[in-house]
Structure formats: structure tokens, C-alpha cells
Amino acid sequence: MTTATAPSGDTGELRRRLARLDTAALSDAMDSLRTPPCVLPGIRPRTPGTLACGPAFTVRYRPLDPDARGFRNAADYIDEVPAGSVVVVDNGGSLTCTNWGSLLSSVALHRGVSGTVVHGSVRDVAESRAAGYPLFSTGVTMVSGKNRVVLDRTGVSVDVAGTTVDPGDWIVADDNGALRVPAALAGEVLRRAEAVDRTEARIRAAVLDGSRLDGARARFGYARPWEDEDGGRHDGR
């Protein structure tokens, strides 16, 4: 059996295959490459059971100048977000005001956006959950960001509690949390994560069939599961 090679330049195929994996397998694959941090710390699912998977569209906020006069909207960038993207919002992890609500979720769903990750707070969680929109954040509050924060820039590198996300990095978020996969490594991370997934599936099947866990782990290469290049041997060699 020959394992499919990682896609090169095929965003649709990359998205399809990444979306079949969970963040645990992807994290193990990143660990095997000894890459910089991939986890987006403190990010929690607000719509359990959903998946966000796509290239990052980054958004950075800054506090409103206290001397500013007149109404200041939080931002009108959503119409520029390409379908399939994951919006990554950086408001410094603030718990004092929101950067996403049900109106943005509705527009994002309509435009085919894959999901949103907010380093900060969101609101209208019940509405986003009812709509099934993949939403992840540091915190939740009812307090509006209007007249509190303003858009700084889009399409720039953002810092999510020590993890840098660049525009175009792949973001995958599920019930475990959220992580980023550098765009340049996405194909190799995918290949290794698929191998991790196969290895763990074989171990699970063997144990359910009566094997001891320690024996199954040794047999199927649990210590280096990403090395399952050809579909895996069943003799542990």
C-alpha cells in the first residue's frame, strides 16, 4: 500500500485532507519536526463539535485613543475575507470587550468563511452556536468593542499569546483548541499527521482485538508514528 503524497500548491486538496485530522495528530506531526510553537494558547471552542480549517486572514486591533471623538465602529473588514479562510483576530487576549458577535458570524457563514479564532473575547455565543459557526476565543463577554477598540491592520503577523500567526498560515481548530501550521510546512505536516493517525488507528484496533497496549504500541511504532511512510508494517520491523 502506498501512502498518498502531500499536495503541492493544491489548496482544496490540502484543506480536504487537513480537515479529516484532529489537532492532536497535527500537533504530534509538528513536534516531530521540532518547529516553533504551533498551539494558540488559551483559545477555547465556543461552538463545540465544529472544525475551522483554512489559511489565516489576520486582523489586529488597538485601543481607541481616549481623545477620539464621535462613533468608532469596531471594524468593517469581513467583506474582504476570502471564502475558506479562518479569521484570526488579535486583541491582545483582552477580556474587557468583544471583537466578534452574531452579526459577523452570520456574514462569515454567508461568505463561506471557515471559522474564527479570537485572541480576545466574543459575544452572542448562543446565536453562533445555533448557526453552527466554528468560533473559538480566549474569553466571552457581552461588552461591545465599539468605541473601545479600533482596527489597526489586516494582513499582518499577529501574536497569539506568544505564537506568531502569519497571513496564509494554516489554522486548524477543534474541540482540543487551535493551532497554526506554517504555510511552508503544511504539506509535510499533513503527511506526518496522516501517518500518526494511521498508527494510532492500528494500535486501537489491535487492543480492541485483544492485544496488550504496550505490545501494540511496540508493534506499530508508537514512539515514532510519523514514520509510517507506506501504510505501516504489521510486524513491527
Residue with cell 506568531: 164
Is 137 flagged in the annotation as binding?
no
Is 198 flagged in the annotation as binding?
no
Residue with cell 499582518: 156
What single-letter DSSP state applies at residue 187? H
Residue with cell 499527521: 193
Task: Please report, for the chain, how many H helices and E strands are present, in that order.
Answer: 6, 10
Q: Are strands 135-140 and 86-90 parallel, antiparallel or unpaired?
A: unpaired
Is 123 flagged in the annotation as binding?
yes
SS3 230: coil
Is 103 flagged in the annotation as binding?
yes
What whole-number distance in Å separates Cα of residue 44 and Cα of residue 109?
20
Annotation: binding site for substrate = 101-104, 123
Annotation: binding site for Mg(2+) = 124
Annotation: binding site = 101-104, 123-124
